[in-house]
Structure 1
Amino acid sequence: MGVQVTALALPLTAVLALNAGPEETGGLRFAQFVPFLFLSLLFGVWADRRRKRPLMIGANVVRCVLIGLVPLLAWMDVLNMWSLYALAIGIGVCTVLFDVSWMSYVPTLVDKEHLVSANGKVNSSFSVADLAGPGIAGLIVQIFTAPWALLIDSFSYLVSVITLSSIRRPEPEPKPGAERHLGREIREGIVFVTSNPFLRVIATIGSAYNFCYMFIDALFVLYCIRTLGFDPFTLGLTLSLSSVGGLLGSLAAGTFIKRFPYGRVYMVAVVIGYCGPLLVPLVTGPTWLAAIVIGGGFVFTRFGLSVANVVALSLRQAVTPQHLMARMTAGMRTLLSGLGTLGALAGGFVGASIGLREAIWVGAIASAAATLPLFFSIIPRLRKLPENPEEAMEFAAAQRTA
């Protein structure tokens, strides 16, 4: 929930407190995600060599401090865009380490047959936070101004540290390799992602979508405030409404997988999620109508994305050996979030050049086009989640010869 507060309060701090334009908001999103481009692979090797939980706890302690500095600097009247960029980069570094670790940590807590259920529950918790976080953030920004809303996120990381520390299931010590070599281990992770027929497709369409999503996201707050006339509370409420779809998708993913072929569920969910951004630049009219259309449309978008995320994450974990799990996750995050980072930078410049609504149209059309590689892959023919990496490769080989 704290993360969702920051997702709204940080750009609102730039727009409302520092009067940022499209280039500055795009630069802020770039600063938040650029660490994924350069550090994911390095952290992936590091996380594969260590227990994951201590890394996650350490990352959240540092994020607590960095986010808490925003209201402190604002109170001292020394907050500016450069300090906001620097803090965003620091927060992003910790986010990379945490994300690489938690996605590799879940398979050590549950058996393979419970992966879909476990990932669905984790995704449901995200969706519940999505539902409450933006509305709370918008209300706090409305009352106390944007920087002070970030104080909630700072405290939320303390809660996270306590809950992570309460996990009692022992985490296995990673098996040491015969000879550790950083460059070779990074290369092994990259080669595994790019050579695996399932991971390669997920990475391709996911990175294309994330580029488009970040392209739009860099402009979205500015577009809603200055073009559609939203106040912070209306913006937060609209985002909270959209999160209903994410919660429903997380809860429904397991049922869909049991009733329908695995690959078809993923394909339909991707199409629904990736085409949803077309509604953002389409809406015109009074503010209340724009809020309803964007919020309602995002319900379907988030529903599709949530189902797709649960299915894709479970498939990624199922086709990857445990000793490569963190490096696989790091390679995927480099592609998914790294290219998304460049989308934020591009969105800021395009928005400043051709206008906010026109730039969002560009991103939305490209997002819909990102679904095309999936239709030509073997994933839609996958009837069930593979039991192990060997079964997955046998299926891929059989499809190539069919």
Structure 2
Amino acid sequence: MNPDFRRLFVGNSVSLLGSSVTTVALPLSAVVYLHASPFQMGLLGVATLAPHLVFGLPAGVWVDRLPYRRILVAADIAQALLVGAVPVLAWLGVLSLWQLYVIVLLAGVANLFENVTAQSFTPHLVPREELLSANSTLMASNATVNTTGSAVGSALVTVFAAPFALAVDAVSFAVAGFFKARISTPGPPPRPGSRHLVAEVGAGLRAVFTQPTVRVVIVAAALGALAGQMQNVVLVLFLVQGLKLPSGLVGLAITVVGVAAVLSAVAAAPISRRLGSGPAFILGMLISAVAGPVLALAGGPLPVVLIVVALAQILRGVGPSLYGVNQQTLRQTLVPAELLSRVNATWRFLVYGLQPIGALLGGALGSVDLRLTLVVSSAVMLLGVAVAAFSPLRRRTRATG
């Protein structure tokens, strides 16, 4: 593993572990510590996604105007200070919901720039032919951290009050910044600034929609994100209300997804080399799409229900890792280096921009019928599969070229 890529990998893994704690501690801080209402929790969710919608497209332009390493370190420092402010404000007894909104919003901006930069930096740290393995390693790390981090967060919240558990995330960002500051490769030279921001954003959009393979991958991934969020908002409701599973088994079902995602990410590189990047991407989306109908079939005696749920959750874990590794590698190898940041930013804008819509659709349809929501959302994901399958992507055997 390239030493600079290893530093980026370690830094990302450490900060992700801290952020996994935050996914548990932050909403609990709002609900338990600050007694937030459902509407106020909705506003907190909006504040989390707003940076991708507002700054998603121009972020790619601005990233190109600064050294990549400097952006990564600055983003980690900013997030360390912002997240670290929560336990400090709670200790002083002055923490309020509006402060959480501001902190989440600003931290989301820093996270957006950090992710766009990291995805654009990776091709400068590893050889082109090793990108698939590098992205597989990053995906496996993300899946592992997400699986274990929530459990760590739950334990910390049990021992400490929720706001004080966020101190772990603040420390993790500081440690991540230390590792990233030691990256010796500064990245490509910053491009000269231009006043024509709209024109530069337009160049990024054209790079997405005029490159046939990249266009197909991003459209399919966006449909997958929309459908995935439709399922996410009703999953726990279906397990609890529809299948009458106790909380312990629901937690176990969620853990199964994480374990399957880790194993899939590890296997993604060899599978993709055997099948080809295009077919592997399509297979990953197809596996994800099948998970919904399988889960909708669950019923009958408890052992049968558990077997069906376990199968569906394995599919939900395996699919996204397989197509996620390939879609990222395809972007990194097919897009010219000078446009990659803008293409990565466009991808985040589209994928994250559709998630709130997916949540609203899933919630509305789920209020009618939970099983129907699982089937309809899978049909939307199958549309993404069709977009990819009936395109030149199905014949692409390599990410490069």
Shorter-chain TM-score: which interval? 0.7 to 0.9
* Equivalent position of 1:383 in the other structure: 397
- 1:28 aligned partner, one-letter code: L
- 1:375 aligned partner, one-letter code: A
Q: Is the 8 A contact 1:202 1:312 kept in 2?
A: yes
Question: What is the 5 A alignment of 1:139-154?
Answer: 139-154=155-170
CA apart distance, 1:297: 3.4
**Residue 79 to residue 128, structure 1, CA distance change in 2 (3 Å):** same
For 2:236 and 2:387, the matched residues in 1 are separated by: 30
1:178-229 C-alpha deviation (Å, 9 max, x unpaired): x662221111001111222112112212112222333444565677788867
For 1:149 and 1:305, the matched residues in 2 are separated by: 29
Q: Secondary structure at the match of 1:331?
A: helix
For 2:35 and 2:286, the matched residues in 1 are separated by: 36
1:63-86 C-alpha deviation (Å, 9 max, x unpaired): 122222334444555555544333
**More displaced, 15-24 or 319-328?**
15-24
* Equivalent position of 1:341 in the other structure: 356
For 1:52 and 1:357, the matched residues in 2 are separated by: 45
- 1:37 aligned partner, one-letter code: L
Question: What is the 5 A alignment of 1:60-139?
Answer: 60-75=76-91, 79=95, 81-139=97-155
1:253 and 2:268 matched: yes
Count matched residues: 384
1:210-262 C-alpha deviation (Å, 9 max, x unpaired): 2233344456567778886766x876665443222222122111111222233
Match of 1:41 among 57, 63, 81: 57
* Equivalent position of 1:395 in the other structure: none
**Residue 230 to residue 143, structure 1, CA distance change in 2 (3 Å):** farther
**Residue 211 to residue 15, structure 1, CA distance change in 2 (3 Å):** farther
1:53-103 C-alpha deviation (Å, 9 max, x unpaired): 111111111112222233444455555554433332222111111111100
For 1:204 and 1:318, the matched residues in 2 are separated by: 18
- 1:187 aligned partner, one-letter code: G
- Percent identity at matched positions? 31
Match of 1:169 among 182, 185, 194: 185
* Equivalent position of 2:221 in the other structure: 206
Q: Is the 8 A contact 1:11 1:221 kept in 2?
A: no
* Equivalent position of 1:399 in the other structure: none
Question: What is the 5 A alignment of 1:362-381?
Answer: 363=377, 365-381=379-395
Calculate the TM-score normalised by the size of structure 1: 0.82
Q: Is the 8 A contact 2:285 2:381 kept in 1?
A: no
For 1:165 and 1:230, the matched residues in 2 are separated by: 46
**More displaced, 62-71 or 48-57?**
62-71
Match of 1:181 among 193, 196, 203: 196
* Equivalent position of 1:318 in the other structure: 333
For 1:110 and 1:204, the matched residues in 2 are separated by: 27
**Residue 56 to residue 293, structure 1, CA distance change in 2 (3 Å):** farther
For 1:286 and 1:17, the matched residues in 2 are separated by: 40
For 1:355 and 1:82, the matched residues in 2 are separated by: 35
Q: Is the 8 A contact 1:59 1:94 kept in 2?
A: yes
For 2:262 and 2:152, the matched residues in 1 are separated by: 17
Calculate the TM-score normalised by the size of structure 2: 0.82
CA apart distance, 1:374: 1.8
User: Unaligned stretches of 5+ in structure 2?
Assistant: 1-16
1:358-381 C-alpha deviation (Å, 9 max, x unpaired): 766654554444433222222112
User: Unaligned stretches of 5+ in structure 1?
Assistant: 388-402
Q: Is the 8 A contact 1:71 1:147 kept in 2?
A: yes
CA apart distance, 1:283: 5.5
Question: What is the 5 A alignment of 1:265-344?
Answer: 265-278=280-293, 297-344=312-359
